Structures are given as C-alpha cells and as structure tokens.
Amino acid sequence: MAQKIPTRLYLSEDEIPKYWYNLRADMKEKPDPILHPGTLRPASAADLEAVFCKEPVAQELDETTRLIKIPDGLLDFYKAYRPAPLIRAYFLEKALGTPAEIYYKHEGTNTSGSHKLNSAAAQAYYAKEEGLDSLTTETGAGQWGTAMAMACAFYGLDLTVYMVKISSEQKPYRKALIETYGANLIPSPSNTTEAGRKILERDPNTNGSLGCAISEAVERAVKTDKCRYVLGSVLNHVLLHQSIIGQEAKAALDKYNIKPDIIIGCAGGGSNLGGLIAPFMAEKLAGTSHTRFIAVEPASCPSFTRGRYAYDFGDTAKTTPLLRMYTLGNGFIPSANHAGGLRYHGMNPILSKLYRDGLLEARTAVQTDVFDAAVRFAKIEGILPAPESSHAIKIAIDEALECKRTGEKKTILFGLTGTGYFDMTAYMSYNAKTMGDYIPTDEDLARGFASLPDIPQNKSR
C-alpha cells in the first residue's frame, strides 16, 4: 500500500544539508563570464574583491566544484530557523478539485519573512571570518535589508542600509524592524555620498531608486576601511547559498519517493528560483528526469519573456561589472508594483543560460490575478503569502487546474518565498479594488534597451 504522505514532510535538524550545490559544475554549457566594465575582459577575483567579500567572490567565479561545504559556524545559525517546512497543500488540492499533488517549500518562517536570510547569514558569516568590521547594502522593498540586519546582529558586524526613500516612507514598519536589529538606515538619495549628493542637487524631491541606493552603498563600502558591499540576489554566489532550499526540498521528497513533474518559482533576480530548482535541474541535465521548471515574473517587469540576452550592468548608475543575462536594460523603470522584490531589470546569469537553452520556461502574471491567487491561498492554506511568492501560487493553481481538465495526476512543487505581513498596503489596495495592472508597451521597453551598454559583445549576437 502507498505510504500516507503527511501534511508537513519533516526533516530533523541533523538532516539539514551540509553542502550547497553549485549547479554550474554540471552544466556542459556554462554561463558567459562576468566582464570588467572598463577592460571588457573577464573580471578577476581581485577586481571583485574591491567591492565584495573574499569567499563569496571565490564562489562567484567557481564553476567546477559541485558541492561546497556550509561552514559549521553558519550551520549553527541555520538551525535557528531551518529546516524550512515542506508542506503538502491538501486543502488547496481539495478546494481546486484537482488530481494533482501540490507541495510548497515555505521560506517565510523566520522574522525577516523571506528566503533572503539564507544568503544574508552566509555573507555576514564570511565577512566576519575575513576580519571585516562593517557591511553596506541597499534595500528596496525591505526584505533584504531586514535579513542583513538580522545576520549582522548575530555575527556582530555594523551595517549601513541605503533604503530607497519612497519605500522608507511607505513601509515605516520595515524601516523600524531594520533599525530594531541595530542597522544604520539611511533613506536614499542622501548627502552621505557623492552619488547621493549629485542626485539631490539635480532633483531634491526625488523618490530615490534601487540603482541610486546601490551606488551609494557601493561608494561607502569602497571608501570605508574594513567594509564591503553585499547583494541579495542576481549574482551566482547568492544563488549558491539559496541552493539550501532545493537541497532540503529534495531530501524531504526523496524520503517519500516523490518526484516533482513541475517546479514553479517567482523570479526577481532569480536566486530563490535558482536555489529551489538546482538539485532537480541536475537530474534533468543528467537525463534522469523530465521535470519542467517554470519561472514566474510580473507582467510589469518581464525580464525573461520580453527581455534581451545581453551584457548589462547590475545597477542604474552603471558601476557594477557586466553580467550576460536576460535584461530589460539597466535604465528600465518598472511601473509601481506591489511585488517590490520582483522589480529588477535583469536575471541571474545561470538561470538566463538555462532559459536560453530551453531548460527553463517563463511566464508572466498580472498583479490583480496574482492577488486573487494570494487571497485564495491565504483563505485555504492559512498562510498570508508575500506578493512576490503569490506569482508562483498563481501559476501553480493554473497548472493544477490544467490537471483537473486533462485528468493527469501530476506532482507540482512551488516556492513560497515569504509572508506578506509587511505588505498590507498592497492587500488594502486589492480589497478596495483600486489595484491596477500595468503592462509596459514596446516603446517603454525600447527606452530600457537603449540603456544597454554599447559594446562589441552586445553587437555580434
């Protein structure tokens, strides 16, 4: 008789994976190298170490080591909130009347409320080991700033967070939470950096932007002794740290011999999705599985589905190294959207390569459909999802309903990246029916593409 599958597929503390999985090691076709924006040659470790911590830089450039040990001093911190639950969505299956089996990996059980703590803790751990005193970063929606503040409090590092000014005003509780954990929060643009002062001179009433906050954080890191900058997504080492999500999910599913047919995740910069799918993609690359992988992005910021595969800067101020990725152009300004964590112009290079090679699919969802799915999920499964995560919920529901239509009994796994407690303004707008959907026109996109660097590497393709 088939084994009864519990609602929560538990792993014990001892079963937390001891290794991150580096998907690039198993890709025969590797992503293109990161380029130094001045020389247009592959960036060296020394180039990157001017801004980032040493060990993450080594991980960024490592495309051959399959398994990378999670340091013991970091595993101890992970044990405070991991393993993250893997949940069988029995209630949702029943409500939809689908023959599909639905599972979700819940990364929102820690106080920061999202998966971002997995990489924040790793980056703070390495900074401390390296003998640094402080870190800088930026935050838009606030989840990354919160995660870094928690991690720096734990490892005893000072942290300065440049928070996009409009968000610091619209999300006072996020700001308060970051400050409660002891970080120095500066609304950006500010007069603490040259980059900030320049922008304020031009436009004293600006709302700020992620690109500007990145420039300020990088400038402060470079100019401060024993200080580096940390980034919460997009880069390959962040995706590596997030592979703990997939490693745990796979360990729990393997106990019950469950093989997902479809794995779905929302995609902002791509780290959570990349981390969730990594060990499953390994089997697909080896030819031992036929799992489908689906990235879900907001229709308002469609990097995969309408972007270009090109070398681009990670920030609007054009200061970072160049990454070859699906991008809308560093100058693309997404319309206001409540899924702040998904409003990024580019996509991680590993995922971009997999998408290019047909191993990863991508879909878009409009905001009101996403919130329909979010509220449905909250009422049925009990958890209030983050707007970002709800993109994955929307497509998981669509796939489950497709199974109902065809009678197929597929197994669906999706990533629930976080909870939505700090997103009540968004839920209020949905409840009041004032929420809109904006889909950029081709002209809007053309303006973004015009900001792509004019370099030979972007012409020959």
Ligand X SMILES: *Cc1c(COP(=O)(O)O)cnc(C)c1O
Binding site for ligand X (CB under 6 A): 114, 116, 143, 233, 266-273, 341-342, 386, 388-389, 417-418
Spatial contact of 303 and 347, defined as CB atoms under 8 Å apart: yes
For residue 424, the one-letter residue type is: M
324 DSSP β-pair partners? 311
Torsion (CA) 391, 396, 402, 403 in degrees, nearest 10: 180
262 three-class SS: strand
Spatial contact of 355 and 391, defined as CB atoms under 8 Å apart: no
45 three-class SS: helix
In the bound complex, what is the minimum distance in angstroms from residue 297's beta carbon to ligand X? 9
Q: Of 146 and 193, which has the nearer Cβ to ligand X?
A: 146
Q: Of 89 and 295, which has the nearer Cβ to ligand X?
A: 295
In the bound complex, what is the minimum distance in angstroms from residue 133's beta carbon to ligand X? 27
Q: Of 190 and 243, which has the nearer Cβ to ligand X?
A: 243
Q: Of 47 and 315, which has the nearer Cβ to ligand X?
A: 315
In the bound complex, what is the minimum distance in angstroms from residue 3's beta carbon to ligand X? 32
In the bound complex, what is the minimum distance in angstroms from residue 121's beta carbon to ligand X? 15
Contacting residues for 36 by C-beta, under 8 A, at least 6 apart: 42, 43, 44, 47, 321, 322
19 DSSP β-pair partners? 69
Contacting residues for 161 by C-beta, under 8 A, at least 6 apart: 136, 137, 138, 139, 145, 148, 149, 178, 183, 184, 185, 186, 217
In the bound complex, what is the minimum distance in angstroms from residue 419's beta carbon to ligand X? 8
Contacting residues for 94 by C-beta, under 8 A, at least 6 apart: none
In the bound complex, what is the minimum distance in angstroms from residue 342's beta carbon to ligand X? 6
Q: Of 384 and 386, which has the nearer Cβ to ligand X?
A: 386
Q: Do you find a cis peptide bond into 83, omega within 30 degrees of 0?
A: yes
Q: What distance in Å separates the CA atoms of residue 325 and residue 351, rounded to the nearest whole number?
A: 8
Q: Of 304 and 403, which has the nearer Cβ to ligand X?
A: 304
419 DSSP β-pair partners? 385
In the bound complex, what is the minimum distance in angstroms from residue 217's beta carbon to ligand X? 16
For the chain, how many residues are written? 461
Q: Of 114 and 188, which has the nearer Cβ to ligand X?
A: 114
Q: Of 211 and 268, which has the nearer Cβ to ligand X?
A: 268
In the bound complex, what is the minimum distance in angstroms from residue 294's beta carbon to ligand X? 13
Neighbours of 411 (CB within 10 A): 17
